[in-house]
Chain A
Amino acid sequence: MVYIDSWDEYVKAVEQLCLEEPSKFRFVVKYRHCEGKLVLKGTNDKVCLKYRTEQQQDLKRLEKLNNILMRHMASK
């Protein structure tokens, strides 16, 4: 399991994974308030993409990614 450091790379990889096999893809947001840590995980049970952050600014990016993924999942 490897963490991806660059956000842009992460978004690209997650989106691609989501489009590859939409029915098997899931996206997890894990937040631990006492430590102020946020971990994102996108997986299709074969490939696992993770990103971790403690920065507030990543929340805005997460919102955008959430938006995109939810559209993909609930489109049609």
Chain B
Amino acid sequence: MVLLENEAFLTRLTYLYNKTRTSGTVWITMKAYNGRTKPIPRRKKKDKNALLEMEGSESKCLIRATNGKKKISTVINSKDVNRFQQAYTSVLKGCLDNLKKRERKTAKSKKAKATQ
């Protein structure tokens, strides 16, 4: 797992998408992240203070992406959410371009072409 800066992550994500154009799949996982990399010890789970402490810490968003071979990840701080959101959206828009257009429109354009 490679942990990257937000911008580097998006560049690599674009690369992953481009690599899987002819075959393959890309998975992106998004989850809440509080900076903890180890599980809470079992006996502490019952301890309310430990739980409170965990909830009290600043929450972030962890994003992982993989094509089944390479894994990349990044952490979004709450102050960076807006900026990342915009960049991420534009990456998705640019890369997820093999989806079907709205059916009505295609039907209309076909008709228009037929009448011409």
Residues A59 and B99 in contact, CB atoms below 8 Å apart: yes
Residues B98 and A36 in contact, CB atoms below 8 Å apart: yes
Residues B61 and A38 in contact, CB atoms below 8 Å apart: no
Interface size on A, residues (CB 8 A): 34
Within 8 A of B (CB), among A44-76: 53-59, 62-63, 66-67, 69-76
Provided the pairs A26-B30, A70-B30, A74-B59 are in contact, do residues A33 and B78 lie with their beta carbons within 8 angstroms?
Answer: no
Expressed in whole angstroms, the minimum distance between the Cβ of A42 and any Cβ of chain B is 9
List residues of chain A with CB under 8 Å of any chain B CB.
22-23, 25-36, 38, 53-59, 62-63, 66-67, 69-76
List residues of chain B with CB under 8 Å of any chain A CB.
17, 20-34, 54-55, 58-61, 76-78, 81, 84-85, 88-89, 92-93, 95-96, 98-102
